[in-house]
Structure formats: structure tokens, C-alpha cells
Structure 1
Amino acid sequence: MPEAAPPALGTTHARPHPDAAGRTRSGVVLATVCLCQLMVTLDASIVNIALPAMGHALGFADSALPWVVNAYALAFGGLLLLGGRIADLVGHRRALLSGLVLFGLASVLGGFAQTSAQLVAARAGQGVAAALLAPISLTLIMVTFTEGPARARALGIWSMVTAGGSALGVLLGGVLTDLLDWRWVFFVNLPIVLVAGLLAGRSVPAVRPPRAGRPDVAGAVLATAAMVTLVYGLMETDRHPWGSARTLGTLGAALLLGAAFLAWEARFATAPIVRLGILRVRTVWVSGLIVTLLGAGMLVGFYFCSLYLQNVLHYGPLAAGAAFLPFCAGTMAGSMVAGRLAARFGGRAVLTTGLLLAGLGMLWFGGLGVDSGYLTAFVGPSLVTSVGVGLCMVSNTSMGTSGVDPREAGLVSGLLNAGRQCGGSIGLAVLSTLAVTTTRHAAEGGDTAAAALAAGYDRAFVVTAVLLGLAALVAVLFVPSPKRAPGARADAGAGAEAQASLESGARR
């Protein structure tokens, strides 16, 4: 049976009202989703500074410690697509409030964890909750603000929160771990959950969604199983060589699960979590590929910078967290000027420049050593990388969401968020293995423990720079070049509107 024609964007309950009350409600919606997105991105990095303390307190093996980060990223990335679909089925407010409650409960369990297994399980629970919250936050922006300057401004704020949240997470993790205890990196979520829940109850309409099919549970299980198997196989390569039967078997199983997921979505799912045809839309697949590479660069960068500061320079948690202040400032600055620069130079130029700056900063980080000073060797690459991240986050999100059918807002939101999380998870798995292997070889060659660690981290930074360079190449080759109309206004709002419209028209 053919589907009913979708309502025009902004013509349903999500249409922003022109009066003051409507503008106020839209503002509260934006504040709500930004709080949710802030918590989601904070928790991707807030544990980084606390990892050594967690490992010491709960007896983590060194090879198992990355799972504190990966448990969150895997559950988050693997279930994002289902999370977006659930929001379409049960309604945005119900799904949002459910995600907040689950996030709060998982945070309490993590804060009171007594074993490493309990902590990893709590992190996975946070990831499941984040998989509900993240797609809803972007979807609510897409259906609350009509396409044009209003949505461009909202996306700019949302992107700034997303990009800055990871850096702020490292800073906050250091402050809480040093002044209180590592358990407070979990407890800090509770006031955010409370405030966001109260705002959501006041601003997000409780609209019953149209009748739809059942959630694609089988598709979600296959996607998650494929990702978990892939990342597990990659992480184990530090103990089992790439050519070993165990590694080849695990990676082969991941490929089979991925193929089964695609086959299920294409042939058997009655309400697939991914309409595969959406991947033929140029702006969607290009934005998804870029955000996957960018996600790998961001997560890996924060992870190894945190370890370098503590394990090589021997910073305490508070000092290590404070060391990321320049990164926070640079990310905010890049996000704030991205729209204005796009208006003048075009979205592709800003996106490419941002990716190149981020890659250059990571390459600069690749020169860190045991004698590197903070001001001379850390602040510079932090500023270059963070400004680049801020520029490309805003530009890439605007491109990926432009001109999207409102019925597929949740799907596209889930795809972009899934790309960022899965890219980060895979990147961390591969580069953790690379760093451990490099460190082992350096130690066997006679390097001191600190020098061997620095060598492993440096190798990871250099490979991360290569990944970001590949993302820049993708932007140059495939992002549509905007053809601005004569006399177009060169302000941020008009530029963002033109960029969104032109990129939408360039979809294939």
C-alpha cells in the first residue's frame, strides 16, 4: 500500500508559532535538546581523565580499560538507528523522557559500581539511553524550525554544543575526579537529567504519532552485533596477529553480520530502521562518511591526549582536565564563525578547511615527547585542531540535514549520529591496538617506559591526521559547490539558508 503523502515540513504540531509564546516554546525546545546533546557528548569523553583512577579502583587490566569508552560508544552507535525509529513510533516526548530516565538510572549504577564488569555494563546502559536521546535532539530541531535562517541558527548552536561537549567533558572529568572522586563523572548527569526532563515536559508536545509498523528489532540486533564483533576483533589484534585464525574469523563474522543486516533491510524488514535508498542521496552519504572519519579523529584525539598528559607528563586529573581549556575555547570559536564564513566562502570551503586544520593539529600532536612542554607543544595543536573541529561540525551537519523529508528526519539524524559514534569506536579500537603494539616494540628496543608510551600515542595521532586528511579529500571531491545568487547577502543567516537550499538541490 503506498504511503500517505508526508506533511510539509513545519505544517504539523512542530510548526513554530509566529507569536511570542511560540518563539518562547521553540527556544525552550532548543534548550532542551541542547542539554540532552550536551550530556550525550559529555559522557563520550568525561571518563577519559578518570580512566586511570577507575582502573586502579576496580582492577581493570590495561587491555580492558578502553572498554569503558567503547561500551558506551558501541551501544550508542549500534542502537542509534533503532532509537530514531522508536521516536517515530511512540512520539518524541515519550521517547525523550524515557531516554532521560534510563540515562539517569545507568549513571547511578555506574557511580556505585563495585567491579569492572558493573562499570562497563553501566556505560553500555548509558549508551542505550544516548541512542534514544541523540536522534531525537536533532530531529526536534528539524521539525521545530523551518528550513532557512531559523533552522541554520539552531543547528549552529546544536553543533557548537556537540563539538564543545567532548572537550568540556574532558575538562569536567578532570575537575570532578581530582576535587571529588571518579564516581562523580556519573553522578553529575543527574541534575542535567532533571532539568532536561522538566523542560521537555513543558515544551515538547505529547502528540500521538501516526500508525506505523513494529520497530525493526531484528535489524537493530544485526547492526549492533556486526559493530560489536568488528570492534572486538580489532581490539584483540594487540594479542592476536592480524593473520591469525581468531582475528580473521572474528572480522569475517562481522562482515557476514553486516551483509545479513543489509539483506534484511532490503528484502525482509516491513519497517526497516534504514531505508537503503536514503544512502543514495548525495548530501546524506557524503556527510555520513565525513562524520564517521571525523568521529574517529575526535574520540581518538581526546582519548590519547588524556593519557599522554597523565601517563607521560604525569599531570593530575585536575591539571589534565584544565589543559583542555584551549580546546574548549577553539571549538566554540570555530563553531561561532562557521556560518558567517560559509556565507562568504561557501560550505565546501569551510568544511574542507576545518578538516585540514583538524588533521594538521593531530599531525602536530604526533611530535609530542617526554620532554615536551605544555605551552610549547600542547596548546598550539589544541587550538588548531579545535578550531577545525568547530568549523567542520557545523558545516557538515547543515549539509547532511538540508532538504530532508520530515518523515525521515529521525532516520537521517540517526545515520549521522551513528556514523560519528561508530567511527569513533572503530577508530579507538584500531588505534589503541596500534599504540599498544608501538609502545611494546619501543620498550623492547630500550626506550624508557614514558618514551615508549609517547611513541605509541604519537603513532596514533599521525594515523588520526591521515583519517582527517581523507575526510578533507572526500569534501573536495563530493561536496556540492554552492552557486550563490547575485547580490546574496553575506550575513550568517542568509549564507546558511543559501547553502542549505543549494545543497538540497544538488542531491542526487
Structure 2
Amino acid sequence: MEARGRDPLLPPRLLANRHTAAGAGVILVYGLTLQCVPYFLTLHFQDVLGYDALQSGLAFLGPTLAITAGNLAAERLIPRLGLRGTLILGMVVGATGTAVLAWRLSADGSYLGLLAGVVGFGLGAGLWFSTMFILASTGVAPREQGVVSGLSSTLLQAGSAAGLAVLVAVAGHETTGLTGEALRAATAGGLRSALLVAAVVSVAGVAVTAALRPAARAQATLADRA
């Protein structure tokens, strides 16, 4: 119906733009994986480490600062590495950080023990998040930027919903009927499994990005967006 309409909400021809198509793919992968990590961090802080709401909020200063640093680094790296190179770097760092975070999760662990994984996840997420939206809008006419922005946001939310549904099932698989210390240990194990799945699946974003030619440089990107 969209293809036949005179004024479609999402003109199918926009997906013929290789940047928009690749951007849509990596946004969906991000939603399925790294976008879900903070949810599982919250469960670990409160249900495993026993933090209250205030302590959990303070614990999120670590990933928040790391994500901010990744956002700022992307601004400097895109002119040097291009969109493709910056995205791949963000994916590799984010997947590695998430895997390290999963490895360090345990019922008898501490916040300091998680810090290396938290920083790696945050830096990668910050690099990936900033760059994927720029990629999706590259080469799109100014009057259609809003359409691509809507598509990008929808894919991110849809990916997050689907990713959480799967990862929550993975995390809760071994906790049914448990209480007390047994539940706490099983919860840590389930969260570890969910984060490992997220880290592995996030690598699929590299395959999507690798299809782009490395010529997509920031100068061209900014000119297209201007």
C-alpha cells in the first residue's frame, strides 16, 4: 500500500539508499543487543548485589560517563575513520565490553569487578549509537530527514522490545521456584547468559556494516545532511 500511495508515510525508495538500509540494519541490531544491557545491569545491581534505588542510580554513573565519552569520541573519529570504520570500532568495543561484563557477573562479585566491562560496553555503545543515526540519514534529502528519523527510532524501539523478550527468557530460564541465596546465584548466572547472548548477536552488526564501502567519510556525511 505504501508503494502504491501518492504520499506514502515511508517511501520504499528510501531503502534503496545503501546508507539508510545499512543504518536501519545496525540500528535494529543495536536495539536487539546493547540497548538491553542497562536493564540487566539494573537487575544485577538490585537483585544480586542488593543495591537500593539510590545506590543503583549512582552505580549507573559509570556506564553513563562511558557512553558520553563514546559519543564525544565518535565526533572526532568519524572524520578520521569514516562512518564504516567508526561503527565497526564501536561494535567490537561494545561486544567485547559486554562479554567482559558477563564474565565478571557473579553473586559474590563487586561493582569494581564490573568496571572494566562497564567502561567497554559504554564506550562501544556511545560510538555505535551516535554513528548509526548519522549513517541512516546520509544521502537523504533534507525534506525526508524526518521520515528516516522516524524509521530509525521505530526500529530501535522494535529491536529493544524483541531483544528484551528473548534475553529476559534466557536470564530467567533457571530461576523458577528458587528463593533466597539459591535464587540470587541463579539470577546472576541467568544475567550472565543473557549478556553473553547479547554480545554474540551484536557482532552481526559488523557483517551489516562491512557491506558499506569505506568511502563514507564524515565530510561527505555532513555535506549530505546540510
| TM-score scaled by length of structure 1 | 0.42
Structure 2: distance between partners of 1:422 and 1:455: 27
Q: How does 1:13-24 map to 2 (within 5 A)?
A: none
Kept in 1: contact 2:34–2:202 (CA 8 A): no
1:298 deviation in Å?
A: 3.3
Q: Report what 2:212 is aligned to.
A: 479
1:321 deviation in Å?
A: 1.0
Distance 1:499 1:279, change over 3 A: closer
Q: How does 1:481-500 map to 2 (within 5 A)?
A: 481-482=214-215, 496-500=218-222
Cα RMSD for the two superposed structures: 2.2
Q: Report what 2:197 is aligned to.
A: 463
Q: Which amino acid aligns with 2:13?
A: G
Gaps in structure 1 of 5+ consecutive residues: 1-263, 484-494
Which one has a bigger Cα radius of gyration?
Answer: 1
Kept in 2: contact 1:290–1:474 (CA 8 A): yes
Q: Report what 2:36 is aligned to.
A: 300
| TM-score scaled by length of structure 2 | 0.90
Q: Report what 2:55 is aligned to.
A: 319
Query: Is 1:346 paired with 2:82?
Result: yes
Distance 1:500 1:481, change over 3 A: farther
1:312 deviation in Å?
A: 0.7
Kept in 2: contact 1:308–1:454 (CA 8 A): yes
Return structure 1 stretches of 4+ with deviation > 3 angstroms.
498-501
1:415 corresponds to which of 151, 161, 184: 151
Kept in 2: contact 1:343–1:499 (CA 8 A): no
Kept in 2: contact 1:403–1:500 (CA 8 A): no
Q: Report what 1:276 is aligned to.
A: 12
1:326 deviation in Å?
A: 1.4
Structure 1: distance between partners of 2:165 and 2:158: 10
Kept in 1: contact 2:101–2:116 (CA 8 A): no
The higher-RCO structure (CA 8 Å, 6+ apart) is 2
1:439 deviation in Å?
A: 2.9
The SS at the match of 1:266 is: coil
Deviation string for 1:297-335 (max 9, x for gaps)? Answer: 233101111011100111111111111111111111111
Structure 1: distance between partners of 2:171 and 2:219: 43
Matched residues, number: 223
Q: Which amino acid aligns with 1:467?
A: V
Q: Report what 1:369 is aligned to.
A: 106
Deviation string for 1:76-95 (max 9, x for gaps)? Answer: xxxxxxxxxxxxxxxxxxxx
Q: Which amino acid aligns with 2:215?
A: P
Structure 2: distance between partners of 1:405 and 1:346: 20
Q: How does 1:373-392 map to 2 (within 5 A)?
A: 373-376=110-113, 378-392=114-128
Q: How does 1:48-63 map to 2 (within 5 A)?
A: none
Gaps in structure 2 of 5+ consecutive residues: none
1:295 deviation in Å?
A: 1.8
Kept in 1: contact 2:67–2:122 (CA 8 A): yes
The SS at the match of 1:300 is: helix
Q: Report what 1:226 is aligned to.
A: none
Structure 1: distance between partners of 2:53 and 2:189: 22
Q: Report what 2:138 is aligned to.
A: 402
